Amino acid sequence: MTTIKPSANQPSSRWARIRSQLRAEFGEAAYRSWLKPASFEQADAQTVRILAPTRFMRDWIEAQYGERLLKLCAAENSKIQQLEIVHAGAEPENIAAGLGHAPAVARAQSKDDDIGAPLDPRFRFDNFVVGKPNELAFAAARRVAEAQAVPFNPLFLYGGVGLGKTHLMHAIAWHIRETTPERRVIYLSAEKFMYQFIRAMRFKDTMAFKEQFRSVDVLMIDDVQFFSGKDNTQEEFFHTFNALVDHNRQVIISADKSPNDLEGMEERMKSRLGWGLVADIHPTIYELRLGILQSKAERLDLDIPQKVLEFLAHKITSNVRELEGALNRLVAYATLVGRPVTLDNTQEVLRDILRANDRKVTIEEIQKRVAAHYNIRLGEMHSARRARAIARPRQVAMYLSKQLTTRSLPEIGRKFGGRDHTTVMYAVRKINELCALDSAFSEDVELLRRMLES
């Protein structure tokens, strides 16, 4: 054995060397799951005591790493002849026994951050704006966060992108962590779940993986549509899910579709996901969008005219994330250029966002608008009458349909009483000609176009 300098012979540096040796030999994943949470101490001259957080982990360390651990300890200190591996206090016998008093190490924050994902500090209940489209999801989330006993399991939140699913999940996690810090809450994306599962399989460490997830009080998995078609991960998730629900631990799931509509998911999975409360978040409506903009502008202490907020709420209809993006860009502009935000510069600065959000006009709307404008009956759009007072407005409507929708010429023809695509082509050419010749007519068409686009 090499001689070790006194300072390097301190127990703490000995353990550090043993730890780094273990990490190198067994790999990062196994080390983190099993060995890192354990602590080492010298029990007596011949004995090293290893303290594992749970009984299960103690057994596992003993079976998998015991022999090697003893060798390493003996190499550091030749007097060492035996290991004593103990678990740190009263682990609940059965996870169904309730929250119990699991040892401090097992509940350490770092371990949760390892398997979970960090929470966004902005995603709180108090800055979630509630309106008709999200009131059920919000109420359900609050209920789960505040409940002493599991109110429904799982809570399944679904809705389109950027509508607040992740925000609500983080808000639940924050609330529980703050009010009942002894409960373990894990939030992670379905993607991260899969990544960890695959890593565990690669390192032949699936036991640790299972143990980690099955010992939490609240498990949240975001965007489970990601599991679609990934059969092994889905299977593992299904078992984890069942184990937790069976032991009355809260599970919260989000997806972009309802359980039934999730494609590439096993039937039993879909049906199980729908057992608790399924709450959908509908697309935003004007009032909610305006409320969100007002709340954000207020929090950021921004001086944005009400007219501009109304304009944005009216124009940006896709989702809340885009709405925030628009607001942020306005703020950046105002601070950089040092000019107050007005309706004019808003339109200029956000031109691309506004264009992308332009309302999709339908042929039916165009027909209705044009008929009303020229004071003819809507039915004339489909009729065979060729009198100019009727045929001209019909041509204008065809022209605008071509300009404002993505419909093909044959599709447009069909919507105008089953006309041929060449008729539509002719109408487009005719209106172009007339616009070039007659400025009053051109203005008329332009006006109609603007009305339809707004």
The nearer residue to Mg ion, 254 or 401, going by C-beta atoms, is 254
User: How far is the C-alpha of 269 from the C-alpha of 330, rounded, in Å?
Assistant: 44
Q: Which does 46 bind (CB under 5 to 8 A by kind): Mg ion, ligand ADP, none?
A: none
Q: Which does 188 bind (CB under 5 to 8 A by kind): Mg ion, ligand ADP, none?
A: none
User: How far is the C-alpha of 368 from the C-alpha of 391, rounded, in Å?
Assistant: 15
> How far, in Å, are 210, 242, 308, 364 from residue 239 at the CA level?
9, 5, 51, 50
Give the contact letters, 276-305, x = binds to ligand ADP (CB under 6 A), - = no.
----------------x-------------
Give the one residue of 27, 162, 325, 417 binding ligand ADP; rule: CB under 6 A. Answer: 162
User: How far is the C-alpha of 72 from the C-alpha of 160, rounded, in Å?
Assistant: 54
User: How far is the C-alpha of 245 from the C-alpha of 241, rounded, in Å?
Assistant: 6
User: How far is the C-alpha of 71 from the C-alpha of 171, rounded, in Å?
Assistant: 48
| Shortest distance in whole angstroms from residue 251 CB to ligand ADP | 17
**What's the number of CA atoms in the CB half-sphere (13 Å) around residue 316?**
28
Q: Which does 18 bind (CB under 5 to 8 A by kind): Mg ion, ligand ADP, none?
A: none
| Residue 129 near ligand ADP by CB under 6 A | yes
- Chain CA centroid to CA 38, Å: 34
Q: Which does 324 bind (CB under 5 to 8 A by kind): Mg ion, ligand ADP, none?
A: ligand ADP
| Shortest distance in whole angstroms from residue 129 CB to ligand ADP | 4
- Please give the residue whose beta carbon sits closest to ligand ADP in the complex: 164
| Residue 134 near ligand ADP by CB under 6 A | yes
| Residue 128 near ligand ADP by CB under 6 A | yes
The nearer residue to ligand ADP, 151 or 162, going by C-beta atoms, is 162
Give the contact letters, 397-436, x = binds to ligand ADP (CB under 6 A), - = no.
----------------------------------------
User: How far is the C-alpha of 293 from the C-alpha of 299, rounded, in Å?
Assistant: 10
| Shortest distance in whole angstroms from residue 291 CB to ligand ADP | 8
The nearer residue to ligand ADP, 30 or 253, going by C-beta atoms, is 253
Q: Which amino acid is at 320?
A: V
| Residue 174 near ligand ADP by CB under 6 A | no
User: How far is the C-alpha of 114 from the C-alpha of 111, rounded, in Å?
Assistant: 5
| Shortest distance in whole angstroms from residue 163 CB to Mg ion | 9
| Residue 189 near ligand ADP by CB under 6 A | no
70 in Cβ contact with 83 (< 8 Å) = yes
**Tokens 């809705």 -> residue:** 159
Query: Which DSSP string do the residues of 335-364 spell out, in sequence order?
Result: HHH-----HHHHHHHTHHHHHHTPPPPPHH
The nearer residue to Mg ion, 62 or 191, going by C-beta atoms, is 191
| Shortest distance in whole angstroms from residue 134 CB to ligand ADP | 5
| Residue 167 near ligand ADP by CB under 6 A | yes
| Residue 321 near ligand ADP by CB under 6 A | yes
Please work out, in degrees rounded to the nearest 5, the angle formed at the alpha carbon of residue 253 by the alpha carbons of 37 and 262: 130
User: How far is the C-alpha of 270 from the C-alpha of 275, rounded, in Å?
Assistant: 9
Residues of this chain that bind ligand ADP (CB under 6 A): 123, 127-129, 134, 159, 161-167, 292, 320-321, 324
